Amino acid sequence: MFCFQCQETAKGTGCTIQGVCGKKADTSRWQDLLLSVVRGIGTIADSLRQAGVKTGQEVGDYIVDSLFVTITNANFDDQAILNKVDKGVQIKRELLDLAVKNNVSLPDYQEVKWGGEKSDYEAEGNRESILRNENEDLRSLKELTVLGLKGMAAYYEHASRLDQRNEEIVAFMEKALATISNPAADMDTLLAIVLETGKFGVDTMALLDKANTQAYGNPELTKVNIGTGSRPGILISGHDLKDIQMLLEQTEGTGIDVYTHSEMLPAHYYPKLKKYKHLVGNYGNAWWKQKEEFETFNGPIVFTTNCIVPPTPKASYKDRVFTTNASGFPGWKHIEADKNGHKDFSEVIELAKTCKAPTAIEQGEIVGGFAHAQVFALADKVVEAVKSGAIRKFIVMSGCDGRMKSRDYYTEFAAQLPKDTVILTSGCAKYKYNKLNLGDINGIPRVLDAGQCNDSYSWAVVALKLKEIFGANDINDLPIEFNIAWYEQKAVIVLLALLSLGIKNIHIGPTLPGFVSPNVLKVLIDNFGLGTITTVEEDLKTMVG
Ligand code: FSO
Ligand code: SF4
User: Measured from the CB, is residue 4 less than 6 Å from ligand 2?
Assistant: yes
Residue nearest to atom 2 of ligand 2 (CA): 6
- At residue 259, the pLDDT reads 99
CA distance 172 to 177: 8
CA distance 94 to 84: 15
Please give the distance, rounded to the nearest whole angstrom, from the Cα atom of residue 412 to the centre of ligand 2.
Answer: 27
- At residue 20, the pLDDT reads 98
Which three-class secondary structure state does DSSP give residue 321? strand
Torsion of CA 428, 429, 434, 438, to 10 degrees: -160
Please give the distance, rounded to the nearest whole angstrom, from the Cα atom of residue 39 to the centre of ligand 2.
Answer: 21
Domains of the chain with bracketed CATH: 10-195 (1.20.1270.20), 222-353 (3.40.50.2030), 371-544 (3.40.50.2030)
Residue nearest to atom 3 of ligand 2 (CA): 3
User: Measured from the CB, is residue 307 less than 6 Å from ligand 1?
Assistant: yes
Task: Determine if residue 166 is left, alpha or beta; phi over 0 gives left, psi from -120 to 50 gives alpha, anything else beta.
Answer: beta
User: Measured from the CB, is residue 370 less than 6 Å from ligand 1?
Assistant: no
CA distance 325 to 305: 7
- At residue 156, the pLDDT reads 98
Which three-class secondary structure state does DSSP give residue 6? coil
Please give the distance, rounded to the nearest whole angstrom, from the Cα atom of residue 74 to the centre of ligand 2.
Answer: 11
What are the start-end ranges of the H helices in 388-500? 408-416, 456-469, 489-500
Please give the distance, rounded to the nearest whole angstrom, from the Cα atom of residue 419 to the centre of ligand 2.
Answer: 38
Q: What is the pTM of this model?
A: 0.98
Residue nearest to atom 10 of ligand 1 (CA): 427
Ligand nearest to the CA of 289: 1
Nearest ligand 1 atom to the CA of 305 is 8
Cis upstream peptide for 510 (omega within 30°): yes
| Cβ atoms within 10 Å of 448's Cβ, excluding its own | 27
User: Measured from the CB, is residue 452 less than 6 Å from ligand 1?
Assistant: yes
CA distance 508 to 482: 8
Measured CA distances, 25 to 17, 21, 33, 288, 394 (Å)? 7, 12, 12, 21, 43
Nearest 5°: the CA angle 52, 56, 57 is 135
- At residue 19, the pLDDT reads 98
Nearest ligand 1 atom to the CA of 490 is 7
**Mean pLDDT computed over every residue of the chain:** 97
Residue nearest to atom 6 of ligand 2 (CA): 19
Nearest to 176 by CA among 31, 64, 32, 101: 64
Ligand nearest to the CA of 262: 1
DSSP per residue, 498-532: HHHTT----EEESS--TTS-HHHHHHHHHHH--B-
- Give the pLDDT confidence of 379-406 residue by residue, as tens digits: 999 999 999 999 999 999 999 999 999 9
- SS3 sequence of 85-134: HHHHHHHHHHHHHHHHHCCCCCCCCHHHHCCCCHHHHHHHHHHCCHHHCC
ipTM score assigned to the predicted complex: 0.94
Instruction: Tell me the mean pLDDT per 10 residues along the chain, length 545.
Output: 98 98 98 98 98 96 98 98 98 98 98 98 98 97 98 98 98 98 98 98 98 98 98 98 98 98 98 98 98 98 97 97 98 97 98 98 97 95 95 97 97 98 98 97 96 96 94 96 98 98 97 98 98 98 95
